[in-house]
Every structure is written in structure tokens, then in C-alpha cells.
Amino acid sequence: MTMKTLLLTATALVALTGPAAMAQSKGDVTVGLGIGYVDPTSDNGTLAGSKLSIGSDTQPTLTVEYFLTDTLGLELLAATPFTHDLSLGGTRIGTVKQLPPTISINYHYANATAFTPLVGIGLNYTTALDVSSPLGKVTLEDSWGVAAHLGVDYAITPTSAIRTDLRWIDINMDTRLNGARIGTAEVDPVIFGMSYIMTF
């Protein structure tokens, strides 16, 4: 079963429970504990003349959001390091561990139902913590890029909700082999997430 199917199934099961009212106010803080599935774009660029392919990974995630107004929140997304397989021309050449912390401004569409859609835009910083490859010393330079966020909260109590969301992040990392630049790794992932949101 794919991660997309799991998220859709979980959302449908949550929707079968009774609705509850949940609304944030200016000054509130929410904390979200969940999982994120990072799925890089299918076209990851070309390195040293060969097609690069970057694998997917799933890791625990943490979000902290401070509400500047009743509907506008400043959010930090963090996670444990994601590990991705790297392949050139169909041949596996190693792995990379990376961290992609992201800061976003989210707008929450408050309404009278248990469902609260949200949309956001932000800034991502991605750094490669470790690259392992038999080809030699491979380095991926840090990346700054725009991030887009779309999701929905389903209230289960007045202070908690289940969130399913989707993010797209612009990640492009210049790549070097033994100090020589060999191209750019175009990660540009879609991130599918599910988390439990608590309001404080």
C-alpha cells in the first residue's frame, strides 16, 4: 500500500468519527507529532553525464506553530534525518542523509465545521549531513528554496486534531565529486504528512 493510499484511508476513517469544534486564537501555540513521506521528483537532473535518481524515505516529523492572529500562524517544520538512495544511470552509487527544516506562514480557513483547511508558503533550508559513495568523496551543497503547504485539520477535541497535508519544496543541491563540480541534484520533493496536532 502506498503512502498516498494510507493517508487517504486514515483521513476517511477519521471522518467517520463525530465532529468536534477546534479553533485557535491569537497567541496560541500548536505542536504536531507525525510522519512525513518525502518523495523526490522523478527527474533529479544529470550528474557527470548520467541520469540521477533519488529514492524516497519516511521519518518522524515535528511542527510548532505560533498564531500571529486567529487565522495566521508562523510554523516551523522539523524532522529526523531523511536517508535517500542515490543512483546514476540505474546503478546505485550510495546514500545521502539530509535535514530540511522549513519555516512557513499558514492561513487557516476557520469555519463552523470540524474541518479546517490551511494553505501556506515558506522558506526551506536543506543540508546534507552525510553522503556515502564508493565513487569517492561526494558532497552536496546546502540549498535554500521556496516551500508550499496545503492541508486540512480534522478536530477530534476542542484542543486537538488530526492533520493530513502536502508540501512541495524547491531543493537544488550543487554536487561535487572529489572537489570537482559534476552537476546539480534537483530534489524538489513532494512531502505527504499526517500528524496529531495539540493546542496550548
Which CATH fold topology does 3-199 show? Porin (2.40.160)
- Residue 51 near residue 88 (C-beta atoms within 8 A): yes
Cell output for 122: 515558506
In order along its 200 residues, the chain shows pLDDT tens digits of 455 554 554 454 444 444 555 678 899 999 999 999 999 987 888 887 778 888 999 999 999 999 999 999 999 999 999 999 888 888 888 888 999 999 999 999 988 899 999 999 999 999 988 888 887 788 889 999 999 999 999 999 989 999 999 999 999 988 888 888 888 888 899 999 999 999 99
Question: Residue 25 CB: number of other CB atoms within 10 A?
Answer: 10
Domain ranges of the chain: 3-199
- pTM comes to 0.82
> CA-CA distance, 156 to 17, in Å (whole number)?
8
